[in-house]
Amino acid sequence: MINIRNAREIELLRKSAQIVVQALKMVETRIQPGVRTGDLDLEIKEFICSHNGRPAFKGFHGYPANSCISVDEQVVHGIPGDRVLKEGEIVSIDIGVELNGYYGDAAKTFKVGAVDAEKDRLMRYTKESLDLAVQAAVVGNRLSDIGHAVQQHVEAAGFSVVRDLVGHGLGTEMHEPPQIPNYGPPGKGPRLKPGMVFAIEPMVNMGSYEVYTKDDDWTVVTSDGKPSAHFEHDIVITNSEPEILTAGL
């Protein structure tokens, strides 16, 4: 069942989402060559706690860190630690916050210094695919229209959509129904209704869509070692345009 959230709940979700936005804005100012990912993670924790939130990823199914920091070929769930960022890499940072029992969850891919043209293009098309997915999330459309918008855009550019990972519903749990794949035919699944809240998150690879999980049981990497980008918004379906709860990223 897909939960329908009322105005009070949406306001609580909005507050959680905006802490995520501000945390991502803060960490963006810290990203540069020579920075240790574990130090970024600690700054994210301190920022969230200073805003009365709780880092929602810590302990989620046993996850050991406060955020997910995934570099280059790491798609998602990269565990921050001793890895040091290098000039020319791209780094995806995914942050979850719980505040007053409601969750925010968003991600953004950043450049570490100057990156080559193809990485820049990968990031641009991934973000554009997210924007198109949000535009497809309107009353009367079906759930699969969201992922179809992603797939069409990135594959036309010669990139590939990760199949093994999905977006999700969001509310009083960080992962709620429905699952939202970033690929597939249009016109399938439930019709979208006002009050549905989704975390939409395209994960797009420069090469093959195939991925695997490393021995740490968390870090998902591209099978061919090529870079991947990840952008994520929280949205609520309304009677008009979708509201982006994570606006400002």
The residue count of the chain comes to 249
Residue of 104, 82, 90, 136 whose CA lies nearest to 23:
104
- For residue 21, give the amino acid letter: V
Quick check: helix, strand or coil at residue 241?
coil
Q: How far apart are CA 21 and CA 248, in angstroms?
A: 7
CB 236 within 8 A of CB 148: no
Low-confidence ranges of the chain (pLDDT < 70): none
What local confidence, expressed as pLDDT, does residue 168 receive?
Answer: 98
**What average pLDDT does the chain have?**
98
- CA distances, 227 to each of 96, 159, 190, 202, 204 (Å): 23, 11, 33, 14, 9
List, in order of start, the domains of the chain with CATH numbers: 7-244 (3.90.230.10)
For 55, phi then psi, to 5°, come to -65, 110
Quick check: helix, strand or coil at residue 16?
helix
CB 107 within 8 A of CB 127: no
What local confidence, expressed as pLDDT, does residue 248 receive?
Answer: 94
**Side by side, which strands form the sheet with 74-76?**
74-76, 220-222, 211-213
Q: What is the pLDDT of residues 16-42, one digit of tens each?
A: 999 999 999 999 999 999 999 999 999
What local confidence, expressed as pLDDT, does residue 225 receive?
Answer: 98
Q: What is the pLDDT of residues 75-84, one digit of tens each?
A: 999 999 999 9
- For residue 125, give the amino acid letter: Y
Both tokens of 210, joined, read 């195939």
- CA distances, 92 to each of 152, 154, 173 (Å): 22, 18, 23
Q: How far apart are CA 32 and CA 154, in angstroms?
A: 27
What local confidence, expressed as pLDDT, does residue 46 receive?
Answer: 98
What local confidence, expressed as pLDDT, does residue 172 receive?
Answer: 98
Residue 139: count of CB within 10 angstroms of its CB: 15
